[in-house]
Chains A and B, each alone.
Chain A
Amino acid sequence: MNISIKAALMVSAFALASPALAAGTHPTTGEALADDQSFTYRVLDEHSSVDPQIVEDVSGSEIVRDLFEGLYSQDNQGVLVPGVALSHTTNEDKTVYTFTLRDNATWSDGKPVTAGDFVYAWRRLADPATASQYQWYMEVMAIANAGPVMAGDMPTSELGVKAIDDHTLEVTLSTSLPYFHLTTTHSSTFPTPAWAIEEHGADWTKPANIVSNGAYVLTEHVPNERSVRSRNEAYWNNDATILDTVTALVINDENVALQRYFAGELDRTEIPTGQYPDLSVSNPDETTVFPRLCSYYYMFNMRPDGPAAMQDLNVRKALSYAVNRDIITENVLQGGQTAAYTFTPGATANFSVPDVDYAGMSQDERNAAAVEMMAAAGYDASNPLDLTLIYNTSEGHKKIAIAVSQMWKQTLGVNVTLENQEWKTFLQTRSNGDYQVARGGWCGDYNEASTFLDLVQSGSGYNDSKYNSPAVDELLASAKTMDDPQANYTAIEEAIAADMPLIPIYHYAGNYMIATSLKNWPVDNVEQNWYSRNLYKVAE
């Protein structure tokens, strides 16, 4: 009796000590909130870093977006909302941007966030000594003098960014860029604390040393097991933060992760390939599907000294037509992916998918056309085409390769040799051009069609097909300065469909199991820039 009273007292004392919002109702929706506001999710792999200028992977960027806050953030639809910057102005030709920063933003150690912190961070990103893999982002942003600074030909102080005063940041661009402010949501542009980095060097991101300005601080990091971030009491908008702790658990095996989700150890995990249909029936409230800004494709090796068969337009088109995309999306992947006949996903902002000719045909018509083209190319039952398809080792790539190779075999009589390779060997083989057909995947860096279409530019380092069309290059170049480049994008997609340097197969979809108590997951944000401070857990 005595003991239970004591326990009850202790529990209530505990409840009093915890933040006011931990139990109660959501300020806008009025939903009853759960007492336990902790969110645990699965990541495939250990994150590369939590240093904004160094991080290069998706799971690391997710953490960085929670720990740090840049000039702007995104809302659930991917629309820009104020971050540290309240607003910005720009000059007539959009080469100078001036940002006004909020005066109540502070670092987790209590220091104010100033324009100087941004200047420091951006110079740090461009500094060759930092050797960031995202250095090139400064060139995407077209910051003045980014190139020479990166090459070490100019001191970092020449970079086109300066603090007018503590709350005014001025950025000078090398060229007019109407969408410059959109680039400031990227984690590599987030401010970093000069004093902490100078004091601790590379160790500054360790939980004991890190100073951050986002809604959360890093409190625990056990490499390859877990990383925990907790509410940052010094964050300017801390009162609106509902989740107290966010934990990322590293679980390599997606099937095991799903089991642990069912055991209640996780609030969010990926749905393994092929399991969506069953789970959407058994757990309809938890399965979540949304489009992603990514394309899956097979590329042909079009190098002039490459395999002869791949030079033949008929062969390339026949192989593309004979791929039944609907089977891939509906029977192999089964996770809400969309069949692709164009390279750019339909989910891309300000982009409408053009009607390329073969997209409108039925699969039977495509198959018939494919057979004709194959015959025209001089291949038949007595003289079949021999083809090697390379892909990197992965369950999903394997299943697709198996299905496609059977489609080619059954429809066109092509003898396909499948060859999986370990990731780095695969990349090397592909960029050396030692292949006939290779798998490719591409995710947009930003939400605009050029991030995809630049891939078919003849000089692009990403163009592993070595597709070379002066007309397409011309269209791409002129699109850069257009207010509405859709006409050019349509023409480029039509050129891709006509020349078929690659076979678009499908556009990705995100597939999550999300616990019913976790609310406000931004499924409409195609870039999947999610912020833990917008999530909350309701009482069940």
Chain B
Amino acid sequence: MLDVKLNPSQRKTAEMAKNIANVKGRSLWADARRRFVQNKAAMVSVFVLGLVILFSFFGGYATEYDNETIDWNVLGSVAKVGQPSIESGHYFGFDDSARDLYSRVVQGSRISLAVGVVGAFIAVLVGTLYGAVAGFVGGRVDSIMMRLVDIFMSIPYMFVLILLLVVFGRSITMIFVGIGLTAWLDMSRIVRGQTLSLKNKEFIEAAMVTGVSTPKIILRHIVPNLLGVVVVYATLLVPQMILTESFISFLGLGVQEPLTSWGALISEGVKTMYYGAYWQLGFPLGFFIVAIFCFFFIGDGLRDALDPKDR
């Protein structure tokens, strides 16, 4: 529709501008990659996180024990005879039900990493777009979209989860649905705030005046300028998501015994830490902390790399 009003020469200019933008865009990403690779903390984190992921998939091959078989000789005296031991092959000792903690951590890592990554991904995707649209379009649309977020934030989340369980039954996918339902809300508020401010910047105003379409402005100009905050906040969401999973499972919607997760292992470990079984908290918490550190440093690295002002 807009095309009709443009004369041929203008269309050419627009195309040229588009080409230039494309070329520049590619170099922006290449630039970012270069900067990211130079960031030592981020690269070490990528490496460590890679190890944790490998561990979660292949760690099981390093042990003869599975995550559900109870050692009846240990059951009932885990705090005394269930310590970690290389000789016995129970590298991380036993959990409180006398199952091999190593294989439980391996399996729990898989679930928790998936939950953290999927949760953050949903938050970034949905939250960013939702917030950017609301902030940029503004007016009544913004008002309705943000009041919806207010409602979703205050609605009793537990009932939503309970109903999900009743309607769809229990499955691993339901954890991701449960996580996804809340993950994006906070992000959308933050993104909208940034967008409100960006909207008044000269380059956005310029784009608007030259007739660039709204979706294009949002995707090409607003979103790239938001990535810094988005990435940092996404890394803050990862630990939250991983812990939310254990709450969802508590309601019966998420992972069920004998499967486990970092959140479940940590909350079990907290209960036994008073009685000397420190390893039951230590190992899962250690993995959790290491992974969160990695996510944080990778996040900071990405932020620095993607900062459009930092050409």
Residue of A nearest to B79 (CB): A278
CB distance from A285 to the nearest CB of B (A): 19
Cβ of B79 and Cβ of A258 under 8 Å apart?
Answer: no
B252 at the interface (CB under 8 A from A): yes
Distance between Cα atoms of A255 and B96 in the complex (Å): 15
Total number of B residues with any Cβ neighbor in A under 8 Å: 27
Distance between Cα atoms of A57 and B240 in the complex (Å): 35
Cβ of A425 and Cβ of B252 under 8 Å apart?
Answer: yes
- CB within 8 Å of A: which of B148-207? 162, 165-166, 170
Cβ of B257 and Cβ of A327 under 8 Å apart?
Answer: no
Identify which of B68, B162, B249, B274 contacts A255 (C-beta below 8 A).
B274
Which residues of A have CB within 8 Å of B252?
Answer: 393, 419-422, 425-426
Distance between Cα atoms of A275 and B79 in the complex (Å): 10
A398 at the interface (CB under 8 A from B): yes
Q: A398-B257, A402-B257, A403-B97 are in contact. Are A422 and B72 (CB under 8 A)?
A: no
Which residues of A have CB within 8 Å of B271?
Answer: 255, 272, 395
Residue of A nearest to B254 (CB): A420
Q: A332-B75, A419-B170, A422-B162 are in contact. Are A399 and B96 (CB under 8 A)?
A: yes
A171 at the interface (CB under 8 A from B): no
Question: Which of A272, A398, A406, A426 has the most B CB atoms < 10 Å from its CB?
Answer: A406
Q: CB-defined interface of B69-107 with A at 8 Å, one 1/0 digit per residue?
A: 110100111010000000000000000110100000000
Distance between Cα atoms of A406 and B76 in the complex (Å): 15
Which residues of B have CB within 8 Å of A327?
Answer: 72, 75-76
B250 at the interface (CB under 8 A from A): yes
- CB within 8 Å of B: which of A367-420? 393, 395, 398-399, 401-403, 405-406, 410, 417-420
Distance between Cα atoms of A179 and B72 in the complex (Å): 46
A330 at the interface (CB under 8 A from B): yes
- CB within 8 Å of A: which of B5-19? none
CB distance from B295 to the nearest CB of A (A): 29
Distance between Cα atoms of A330 and B73 in the complex (Å): 12
CB distance from A530 to the nearest CB of B (A): 27
Question: Which of B72, B77, B165, B252 has the most A CB atoms < 10 Å from its CB?
Answer: B252
Identify which of A258, A259, A334, A399 contacts B97 (C-beta below 8 A).
A399
Which residues of B have CB within 8 Å of A403?
Answer: 70, 75, 97
Q: CB-defined interface of B48-82 with A at 8 Å, one 1/0 digit per residue?
A: 00000000000000000000111010011101000
Which residues of A have CB within 8 Å of B77?
Answer: 277, 331
Which residues of A have CB within 8 Å of B139?
Answer: none
Which residues of B have CB within 8 Å of A393?
Answer: 250-252
Residue of A nearest to B73 (CB): A331
Chain A residues at the B interface, C-beta cutoff of 8 Å: 255, 258-259, 272, 274-275, 277-278, 327, 330-332, 334, 393, 395, 398-399, 401-403, 405-406, 410, 417-422, 425-426
5 contacts across the A-B interface (CB closer than 8 A): A331-B77, A332-B75, A332-B76, A399-B96, A425-B162
Chain B residues at the A interface, C-beta cutoff of 8 Å: 68-70, 72, 75-77, 79, 96-97, 99, 162, 165-166, 170, 249-252, 256-258, 268, 270-271, 274-275
* Known A403-B97, A422-B251, A425-B162; 10 more pairs at CB < 8 Å: A277-B77, A330-B76, A332-B76, A393-B252, A399-B96, A402-B97, A420-B250, A420-B252, A425-B165, A425-B252
